Each structure stands twice: as structure tokens, then as C-alpha cells.
Amino acid sequence: MIIQAMQAMMTPINILLMFGGVAVGTIFGAIPGLTGAIAIAIFLPMTYYMESMAALALLIGIYVGGSFGGSIPAILIGTPGAPEAGITTFDGAPLARNGKGGKALKTALYASCAGNFLSSITTILMMSALARLALLLGPSEYCSIVLFSIVLIATIGSKGNWIKGLFAVMLGLAFALVGTDPMIGIPRFTFGFHSLNTGLELIPVLVGLFVGGEMLGEVRISSRRKSLTKIIKNENRFTKDEIKSCIPVIFTGSAIGSVIGALPGLNAAISATLNYALAKKISKQPGEFGNGSVTGIAASEAANNGTVGPTLVPLLTLGIPGSGTAAIFLGALTLHGVTVGPTIFQEHGDVVYGIFFALMFCTLALAIVGTVICGFAKYVTLVPAEILDPIIILVCCAGSYSISKRLFDVGCMMVFMLFGWLMKEIRIPMLPLLIAFLLGSMLETNFRRSLQINQNTLRGFASPLSVVFLVITAAMLVYAVAGSMAKKKKSE
């Protein structure tokens, strides 16, 4: 199976797609306001008629490239292209102002590649063990784990505002209920629209929320941004001490990223923050951090890119996406007939191993493509938004229409674009809504199956594993409420 996956993924066409995906993801990530996740959402409909391996090769390339691309504007203009690159601005922007932008970009690139590659190896080791554990789960255990994931994302993953996080979860679950009842086959919440009998289509919802929230918000932002400084080539050489100081934080970053990435609800920004704090604590020269430390850039980039592979672990083995990008990958796998879950190694083992090979190969491709792109990266940040944004929206409309050939889906995408923009304006987190929408059907189906098996009682939830997750879920809610009340008292 491993040999078959390697042969299927390492074809000339797939290799070109991976290189192209890495380039596209890096460019999207380098434009403030866009991210690799948005690039995946835009290109996902284009993979509808592609073979599964080719589609995954392209999307994983975009994923890997986008995870690095956000560091380019973070260094050159002091504005992170993605939230996880925010820590990179602490040391990247000062280095660029001092004429060492090339050194900062190279540090971010090589640290990203190393952290991504090491965590991909960790992903391979985690996958099979977690898949074996998942085989022991019944409907009640699955329901408890899904509920735990949703609450975790709503509380910890919503930047401390648990009320808005839970509100977003309730909206996502409400959208998931639209369509035909999975157990008795009766349409519900369709409001007379027969096009909604099959439920809300995944692509229009994903594209609308991700792209609409960013594109419509970008209208207010100046379309042109100036780089902080010119890159002086002769000041961009690394010293031996700088290389030695970066190696330990790259290993700690890949380790922290592997753990954070495998936990639903925790994101790359948290991983980067933790490793940056650790690197500063163990450094012999902590005063350099925040003033142009190469070690600080390496710590941030190795940690946030170290979450790339592990983020797919709960998705592939449990069917639970732990991030917005993983949620889009769930849509990609569904489009190509791949069913995620405990039996994925038996049913689609070639796809799983193909993803592993693609992750590691795209990391190597990033080292090549990134080196080229960094040479003219400062020009990417000057792309006028009034030219770029309409093209992106037209591509999104075409992608939403291409899935089922219905203008209704284009209308749904437009509605969710406005919805995504409104959520961003009133600062309601989008990720809890998206995860709840994707997991809503799984939560409902497993809950009702558990009731049927246990004669309409909750006895199934008394199993040890189910009780553990339910107790942790309740504890997270109590912690969120108590923390919010404590902050209000301090402010008063």
C-alpha cells in the first residue's frame, strides 16, 4: 500500500501540481487579508474533476505554501499575512528595518521547512495508533468526543470570548440541521426551497464564509502598501552562533506544533506563542528578542508550521477537523469519495500514505519555491486590492456553480459572503461556526444512534471514555465562565 501510494503521488503531473500549489499558497499567504485557507477554498471546486491523488497533491501544496507565506508581509511590512505569523513580526520587521530582510526571510523559510518536515514524521507515527484507538469507539463515545471538540473550539479557540464562541457554534449546528433528516428522511428547515432538501452545500458555505469575510472587509483598507525597507544582500549571511541558536528552537517548535496541531480547537498561533516564549526563556541573550532576533523568527515559524501535518490527524482518524484549513480538507476528501474515520487505513490506505508523501515532498518543494519567491516577495505585497478582489470573487462564483450546476448555490455563496463579513464586523469567531456546521450531522447521528441502541435512554454515555470527555467538556465551560467573570471584576 505504501509503495502504491508513492507511485500514485510521485507522477510527473502530481509533482508539477505540488510545486504549483506551493507557489500559489505562498503568494496567497504573502498578500495581507488572504491566507492559505482562502486559497484552498478557492481552488477546491477546481479539483472536482481531478483524480483524488492529483487533487490532494495540489491542495496540500497550497496548504504547505500558505503556512509559510504569511511570514513574508510580517517581515517586509510588519503586517502578518495570517494570524499565526503575528509572532514573526516581533523580530522580522526590526531585521528588515535594519537592512537584513533577506536574512529574516531565509530564517523563516528554512525554519518553516524543518518544522514542517519533522512534524510530518510525527504525524505518521501518531496516525496508526490513534486509528486503532478510534476502532474501540461507539456512537456515545463519538458523540462525546465531537461535543468536546466543539466546546473546546468555542471556548479556548475563540480568543477568550466564550459567549460569542458558543453563539457561533449554535449557528453552525442550526445550518447543519437544514435538509433531510438523516434518520427518518423527512425534509426540515427548508422553508419551501426544494434545493435545500439535500442540505446546504459545503463549497458555497466554505467559500462564502472564508472569502467573503476577508474580501468585503478589505474594501476599507488601502489597496497599496509600501515595504519597510530595501533588502541589502551583503548583510544577510548567517553566523555560526545564529545557526547554533536556531537548531534547538526548531526541534522544540516541531514538538510543540505536533501536540498543539493534534488537539482540535488549538491553532498555530498558540503554538508559535508557546515556542517563542520558551525560546526567550532558555536563550542566553533574551534581550535580543523583539529587537531583531534570528532565533525568535526560527522559534515562531518552526512552531506554527509544525502544526501543518498533525492538524490532519484528528480529521483523518476521527473525522474531526481541528482547524479551518482541516475543515476545508474534509470537504475535499468528501468530494473525492474518501470517508474519514477509524477504518480509513483499511478503506483508503493509499490516500492516507499519499497525503504523508505529499506533505514531506511539498516541504522540500517549499525550500526551492520559497527561495525563488523571497527574491521578489516585496512586489507581491503591492498588488492592488481593487484588481485582485473582483477576480477572486468571480472565481468563487464559478467554483460554487460548478459543483451542482445550480445558480441557487451561487446565491447561497453570496449570502454567506455577507454573513461572513457581518461576523467579522461584530467580531464573532468564524471557526466555531464552520466546525459546528461540519460536525453537526455527526453529532446528531451518533446521539440518536446511541439512544436507539440503549432504548431511548442515556445509559450509553455512562461508559468510562464518554464520561471522561463529558466531564472535561463541563470543566471547560465552567473555566470559561469563571475566567470571564474574573476579568470583569478586575476591570471594575
Grid coordinates representing 213? Answer: 469575510
Give domain status of residue 253, yes or no: yes
Give domain status of residue 179, yes or no: no
Give domain status of residue 120, yes or no: yes
Residue 304, C-beta contacts closer than 8 angstroms, at least 6 positions apart: 67, 84, 85, 87, 115, 257, 268, 269, 271, 272
**Predicted local confidence at residue 486, as pLDDT:** 78
For Cα atoms 402, 404, 405, give the angle at the middle one, nearest 5 degrees. Answer: 60
Grid coordinates representing 54? Answer: 492529483
The total of other beta-carbon atoms located within 10 Å of residue 161's CB is: 17
d(CA 407, CA 409): 5
Give domain status of residue 352, yes or no: yes
**Predicted local confidence at residue 229, as pLDDT:** 44
pTM above threshold 0.75: no
Strands (E), 235-344: none
**Predicted local confidence at residue 407, as pLDDT:** 86
Among 364, 37, 2, 454, smallest CA distance to 213 is for 37
Residue 200's Cβ-count burial label (10 Å; 0-12, 13-18, 19+) is buried
**Distance of CA 223 to CAs 215, 218, 227, 265, 385, Å?**
12, 8, 13, 33, 5
Range of the domain at 53: 2-138+202-418
Total count of domains within the chain: 1
Query: Can you name the residues that pair with 457 across neighbouring β-strands?
Result: none
Give domain status of residue 350, yes or no: yes
**Predicted local confidence at residue 232, as pLDDT:** 45
Give domain status of residue 405, yes or no: yes
By the 8 A CB rule, do 53 and 13 touch? no
Grid coordinates representing 299? Answer: 522559534
By the 8 A CB rule, do 294 and 103 touch? yes
- Percentages helix, strand, coil for the chain (3-state, rounded to 5) are 75, 0, 25
Give domain status of residue 340, yes or no: yes
Residue 190 dihedral angles phi and psi, to the nearest 5°: -95, -15
Give domain status of residue 425, yes or no: no
Grid coordinates representing 128? Answer: 496508526
By the 8 A CB rule, do 292 and 321 touch? no
Residue 188 dihedral angles phi and psi, to the nearest 5°: -145, 145
Residue 189's Cβ-count burial label (10 Å; 0-12, 13-18, 19+) is middle
pLDDT along the chain (492 residues), means of 10: 80 93 88 72 83 89 88 76 75 81 87 90 74 71 81 67 84 89 83 83 76 62 44 61 87 86 67 82 81 88 87 79 75 81 76 85 91 72 64 74 79 87 82 79 86 85 87 86 77 67
